[in-house]
Amino acid sequence: MGATVYYPLDTTRKHPGVLVPHGHWKHGRVENLPTYSVPALAINLVLQGYVALTWDMVGFNDTKQIPHDFGGWREELWSFNPLGIQLWNSIRMLDYLVTRSDVDKTRIACTGASGGATQTILLTAIDRRVTCSVPVNMISASYQGADPCEEAPNLRLDSTSNVEIAALTAPRPMLVVSCTGDWTRYDSRTRQTVYKFLARYLLKQPRWEYSFATLVDWTRPSSSPALPL
């Protein structure tokens, strides 16, 4: 696994930890563009007192042992696919983050955009160690992504969508960032309805939602609600 840890100079006390899975950017965890910069996001978090951990998705940078779109009917029969491997890697990254002496393992967040948001909602759904979740431009009741790392056999049966998977975060807080330039523009009311239904008797933390007039990105306007987490 290729990964980068960004941390404050003060290592004498424990800091909240943030997992930052990247989306389908050409340069993965080192992507640095005006519309999305993984290092800039991580550095911003560090300046606010967080320890940030970024890592490669399957087939990117230092994790090219297998291609990002590997698999076929044989692999799908055994549920061996990019989504499963990436989610397994995300769990391992979380394992590492909580063992650091400068990280408060009771305050762990996860945030990512696009494909990184898919990893965010899935990891948050299955691992309760993630105490705060901020998926950006991905949660939709009508679209789950169009990449092998976002689709797995039997993941979404009987009309189950990313909205319901994200709702498994309850009663932990989740901030959902959407925009008017992609598929998330249609689903604000759906997300609110499902989340409130599942969390009616459990939710003890506030949950916010923001929408921006932009395309799929992680620029300053769309990232600002998540900073600070």
Residue 203 has a pLDDT of 45
- What is the C-alpha separation between 112 and 123, in angstroms, rounded? 11
Q: What is the pLDDT of residues 151-197, one digit of tens each?
A: 766 666 666 777 788 888 888 888 887 766 665 555 555 555 545 54
Report the candidate in 109, 103, 99, 156 with the shortest Cα–Cα distance to residue 134: 109
pTM listed for this prediction: 0.77
Residue 188 has a pLDDT of 54
More confident residue, 57 or 178: 57
Amino acid letter, 153: P
Token couple for 47: 């300046």
- What residues does 51 pair with on adjacent strands? 17
More confident residue, 81 or 71: 81
Residue 217 in 3-state DSSP? Answer: coil
In 40-129 the beta strands, taken as DSSP E runs, fall at 51-55, 103-113
More confident residue, 176 or 205: 176
Residue 215 has a pLDDT of 47
CA 117-129-6 angle, 5° bins: 65
- What residues does 212 pair with on adjacent strands? 179
| Domain range summary for the chain, segments of one domain joined by + | 3-226
CA dihedral 161, 162, 168, 171 (to 10 degrees): -120
Report the candidate in 107, 55, 59, 114 with the shortest Cα–Cα distance to residue 82: 59
On whether the CB atoms of residues 115 and 146 are closer than 8 A, the answer is no
What is the separation of C-alpha 78 from the centre of its chain, rounded to a whole number of angstroms?
Answer: 25
- Per-residue pLDDT at 94 exceeds 90: yes
Residue 51 has a pLDDT of 96
More confident residue, 225 or 2: 2
More confident residue, 229 or 73: 73
Token couple for 199: 């969390």
- Per-residue pLDDT at 81 exceeds 60: yes
Residue 58 has a pLDDT of 77
Which range, of 107-116, 127-136, 152-161, 182-191, averages the lowest pLDDT?
A: 182-191
According to CATH, the superfamily of the domain at 3-226 is Alpha/Beta hydrolase fold, catalytic domain (3.40.50.1820)
- Per-residue pLDDT at 126 exceeds 90: yes
Token couple for 105: 């393992």
Question: Distances in Å between the alpha carbon of 210 and those of 18, 176, 182, 191?
Answer: 20, 6, 14, 12
